[in-house]
Amino acid sequence: MSETTSNAIPASLPLRNDLRGEEPYGAPQLDVPVCLNVNENPYPPAPDVVDTIAERVREIAPTLNRYPDREHIALRKAFGDYLAKESGTRLAVEQLWAANGSNEIMLQLFQAFGGPGRKALSFTPTYSMYPEYARDTFTEWVTVPRNDDFTLDLDAAVAAIKDVRPAMVLVTSPNNPTGTPLPMDQTRTLLAACEEAGVDGAPEGVHPILVVDEAYVEFRTPGVPSAVSLIDGHPNLAVSRTMSKAFAYAGARVGYIAADKGIIDSMRIVRMPYHLSAVTQAAALAALEHTDEQLSTVAHLRETRERTAAWLETLTYKGRNLTVAHSESNFVYFGVFDNRDYIFNELLKRGVLIRDVGPDGWLRVCMGTDEEMDAFRKAFVEVLAAAEKEA
101 and 180 fall within a common domain: yes
Q: What is the pLDDT of residue 118?
A: 98
155 and 223 fall within a common domain: yes
Q: How confident is the model at residue 253 (pLDDT cuts 50, 70, 90)?
A: very high
248 and 354 fall within a common domain: no
Mean pLDDT for 31-52 is: 95
CA atoms within 13 A on the CB side of 109: 35
Backbone angles phi, psi at 257, to 5 degrees: -140, 145
Tell whether the model's pLDDT for residue 277 goes beyond 60. yes
Give domain status of residue 9, yes or no.
no
206 and 182 fall within a common domain: yes
Helix (H) / strand (E) containing 292: helix 291-294
Give domain status of residue 1, yes or no.
no
Tell whether the model's pLDDT for residue 1 goes beyond 80. no
Question: Buried (b) or exposed (e) across 347-376, using 16+ Cβ within 10 A?
Answer: bbebebbbbbbbbeebbbbbbbbeebbebb
Give domain status of residue 6, yes or no.
no
Q: What is the pLDDT of residues 135-148, one digit of tens each?
A: 999 999 999 999 99
Q: Where do the DSSP E strands lie in 173-301?
A: 209-213, 237-242, 255-259
253 and 329 fall within a common domain: no
Q: How confident is the model at residue 60 (pLDDT cuts 50, 70, 90)?
A: very high
Q: What is the pLDDT of residues 326-377, one digit of tens each?
A: 999 999 999 999 999 999 999 999 999 999 999 999 999 999 999 999 999 9
157 and 121 fall within a common domain: yes
Q: Any idea what DSSP says for residue 229?
A: G
Q: How far apart are CA 362 and CA 324, in angstroms?
A: 9
Helix (H) / strand (E) containing 352: strand 352-353
Q: What is the pLDDT of residue 391?
A: 59
Q: What is the pLDDT of residues 286-328, one digit of tens each?
A: 999 999 999 999 999 999 999 999 999 999 998 899 999 999 9
Q: How far apart are CA 58 and CA 197, in angstroms?
A: 50
- Determine whether 341 is exposed, middle or buried from the number of CB atoms within 10 Å of its CB (0-12, 13-18, 19+): exposed
Q: What is the pLDDT of residue 29?
A: 78
Q: Mean pLDDT over all residues of the chain?
A: 95
Contact 22, 2 (CB under 8 A): no
- Determine whether 190 is exposed, middle or buried from the number of CB atoms within 10 Å of its CB (0-12, 13-18, 19+): buried
Contact 326, 180 (CB under 8 A): yes
Range of the domain at 210: 47-294
Q: How confident is the model at residue 23 (pLDDT cuts 50, 70, 90)?
A: confident
Q: Where do the DSSP E strands lie in 2-134?
A: 34-35, 96-99, 119-124
34 and 121 fall within a common domain: no
Say what the pTM is.
Answer: 0.94
How distant, in Å, are the alpha carbons of 28, 143, 355, 387 from that of 337?
21, 25, 13, 10
Q: How confident is the model at residue 7 (pLDDT cuts 50, 70, 90)?
A: low
Q: Which of 294, 327, 351 is the last residue of a domain?
A: 294
Give domain status of residue 304, yes or no.
yes
CA atoms within 13 A on the CB side of 128: 14
Give domain status of residue 11, yes or no.
no
CA atoms within 13 A on the CB side of 291: 11
CB atoms within 10 A of CB 304: 20
281 and 164 fall within a common domain: yes
204 and 107 fall within a common domain: yes
Tell whether the model's pLDDT for residue 4 goes beyond 90. no
By percentage, how much of the chain surpasses pLDDT 90?
Answer: 92
Mean pLDDT for 85-113 is: 97
Q: How far apart are CA 246 and CA 295, in angstroms?
A: 6
215 and 290 fall within a common domain: yes
383 and 264 fall within a common domain: no
Q: What is the pLDDT of residue 123?
A: 98
Question: Buried (b) or exposed (e) across 218-249, using 16+ Cβ within 10 A?
Answer: bbbeeeeebbbebbeebebbbbbbbbbbbbbb
Which residues are bridge partners to 239 per DSSP? 212, 258
Q: What is the pLDDT of residues 148-189, one digit of tens each?
A: 999 999 999 999 999 999 999 999 999 999 999 999 999 999
Give domain status of residue 7, yes or no.
no
